């Protein structure tokens, strides 16, 4: 684990462990032990414990009495609830952003859309880092709502986005032929002409398609996965 300049070991350990959970490197429901994490991330026991405490507060890991920690499980019901909440909050943020966005917001949105398209194209050659692709996806959706004037709404939106990422990272497996770039292109066009209703509908459909594909795949999984046990 290479530490960024100016960051403490605790912060870097937290970032690395969080990314491993969000992007599926550590499986949902998996038991995690401090000793293994110390070796994996080349971190001190104190840094690992602090990272786990922060992730517990975010709901990404659960503490088991005298048994350490376990990554939060996934379930169909959780995904359905998460999707409904994300659509509601994201659409509110999107409306506020479209109503208040200026020329700089437009430029940032177009840049984020362009960079994501470029990243997706390069990823097809299997030479583009997967983690970088996730960040471009995050940057695009954040650019859409970046002109929203409510910090609290944006914090809640960011939390829901991160919780959704654990599910979305499975989509390449269950829906390999889907082309999100076309969906993003239509959302961007509607956003730039400030068509709030169309942009909200396209964004809602975009999220729902992901959820539906994952739920269909999870339905044929074992009962343990379905119930999130």
The domain spanning residue 206 has which CATH number? 1.20.120.530
Q: Are residues 157 and 176 in the same domain?
A: yes
The values of phi and psi at residue 124, to 5°, are -70, -15
Q: Are residues 32 and 95 in the same domain?
A: no
In a domain, 64, yes or no: yes
Compute CA distances 113 → 84, 147, 185, 213, 221, whole Å.
25, 16, 8, 23, 34
Question: Taking a C-beta distance cutoff of 8 angstroms, is the pair 46, 10 a contact?
Answer: yes
In a domain, 111, yes or no: yes
In a domain, 2, yes or no: no
Q: Are residues 27 and 49 in the same domain?
A: yes
In a domain, 53, yes or no: yes
Q: What is the pLDDT of residue 166?
A: 83
In a domain, 83, yes or no: yes
In a domain, 30, yes or no: yes
Q: What is the pLDDT of residue 183?
A: 94
Question: Taking a C-beta distance cutoff of 8 angstroms, is the pair 60, 18 a contact?
Answer: yes
Q: Are residues 111 and 64 in the same domain?
A: no
Q: Are residues 32 and 84 in the same domain?
A: no
What string of pLDDT tens digits covers the 229 residues of the chain? 554 433 588 899 998 999 888 887 888 889 998 999 999 999 999 999 999 999 998 888 998 877 789 998 889 999 999 999 999 999 999 999 999 999 999 999 999 999 999 988 887 666 545 678 888 999 999 999 999 999 999 999 999 998 888 888 776 555 556 778 899 999 999 999 999 999 999 999 999 999 998 898 888 764 434 434 3
Q: What is the pLDDT of residue 175?
A: 55
Domain boundary among 19, 49, 71: 71
pTM of this structure = 0.80
Q: Are residues 32 and 120 in the same domain?
A: no
In a domain, 229, yes or no: no
Domain boundary among 71, 92, 107: 71
Q: Are residues 106 and 63 in the same domain?
A: no
CATH of the domain at 53: 1.10.10.10
In a domain, 204, yes or no: yes
Q: What is the pLDDT of residue 1?
A: 53
Q: Are residues 169 and 205 in the same domain?
A: yes
CA atoms within 13 A on the CB side of 89: 20
Q: What is the pLDDT of residue 84?
A: 97
Structural domains counted in the chain: 2
Question: Taking a C-beta distance cutoff of 8 angstroms, is the pair 144, 184 a contact?
Answer: no
Q: Is 31 helix (H, G, I), strand (E, B) or coil?
A: strand
Q: What is the pLDDT of residue 177?
A: 63
Q: Are residues 38 and 92 in the same domain?
A: no
Domain boundary among 71, 92, 122: 71
Q: Are residues 51 and 94 in the same domain?
A: no
Q: Give the structural domain span for 64.
A: 9-71
Q: Are residues 31 and 91 in the same domain?
A: no
Q: Are residues 113 and 13 in the same domain?
A: no
Other beta carbons less than 10 A from residue 87's beta carbon: 19
Which run of H or of E encompasses 69? strand 68-71
């Amino acid at each position: 684990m290479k530490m960024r300049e100016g960051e403490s070991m605790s912060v870097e350990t937290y970032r690395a462990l969080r990314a491993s959970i969000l992007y599926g490197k550590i499986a949902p429901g998996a038991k995690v032990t401090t000793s293994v994490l110390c070796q994996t991330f080349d971190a001190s026991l104190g840094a690992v414990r602090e990272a786990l405490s922060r992730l517990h507060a975010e709901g990404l890991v659960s503490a088991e009495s005298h048994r350490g920690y376990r990554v939060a499980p996934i379930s169909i019901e959780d995904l359905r609830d998460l999707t409904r909440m994300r659509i509601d909050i994201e659409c509110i943020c999107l409306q506020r952003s479209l109503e208040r966005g200026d020329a700089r917001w437009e430029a940032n949105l177009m840049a984020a859309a362009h960079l994501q398209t470029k990243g997706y194209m390069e990823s097809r050659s299997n030479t583009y880092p997967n983690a970088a692709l996730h960040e471009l996806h995050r940057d695009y959706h954040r650019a859409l709502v970046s002109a929203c004037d409510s910090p609290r709404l944006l914090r809640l939106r960011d939390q829901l986005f991160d919780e959704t990422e654990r599910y979305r990272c499975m989509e390449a497996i269950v829906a390999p032929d889907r082309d999100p770039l076309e969906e993003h292109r239509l959302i961007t066009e509607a956003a730039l002409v400030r068509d709030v209703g169309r942009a909200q509908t396209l964004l809602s459909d975009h999220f729902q398609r992901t959820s539906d594909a994952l739920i269909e795949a999870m339905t044929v999984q074992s009962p343990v996965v379905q119930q999130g046990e």
